[in-house]
Amino acid sequence: MARLVFGMNVSLDGYVDYDKFGPDAVLFRHFIEQVGGSAGSVYGRRLYEIMRYWEQDDPDWTPDLREFAAAWRAEPKWVVSRTLTSVGPNATLVADDAEGTVQRLKQELEGELYVGGPVLAHALTGLIDEYRLCLHPVVLGGGDPFFAGPRPPLRLVTHRRIGGEAIELTYVPA
């Protein structure tokens, strides 16, 4: 049975914004390994459209960027959207019953299944087994919050430094 994990880079004040800050080389390597070893990812439309950047090839990419792109392309993806009519390679469109689809995926898959995007994570709160906040020493003052709705009761189970500045906090539902 797969474990559903919601994890993202987050600022000290609780916001996610890939344009404002990102991982250092060590944390990026961690993400390459995470994507390469996952059972798949369930994306909301907005984050999926951002992540489609990795479908292209850029001759200026470093070897790590190429490796992440290859891992992301190989990873199975399910995209929850009522507005998209198609999705890219190795992706399945989920137009209805996101919760039922994720319940089925958790039963059928082994390993870690990731949920991408705060709004989708909020809709799937009752199914999430683990929250991983990659906390960065940045204050944004606004933007998209990591928790898109009321915070579920959580219990800290682990914490560790990854790279030069990020701290990964792992919580499970209390």
Q: In this structure, are residues 170 and 162 in contact, taking their beta carbons and an 8 Å threshold?
A: no
Q: E strands along 61-100, which residues?
A: 77-80, 91-94
Give per-residue pLDDT as tens, 68-80. Answer: 999 999 999 999 9
Q: Mean per-residue pLDDT for 149-166?
A: 95
pTM: 0.94
Cα(74)–Cα(90) distance, integer angstroms: 7
Q: Domain 2-173 adopts which CATH fold?
A: Dihydrofolate Reductase, subunit A (3.40.430)
Amino acid at 104: R
Give per-residue pLDDT as tens, 16-43. Answer: 998 899 999 999 999 999 999 999 999 9
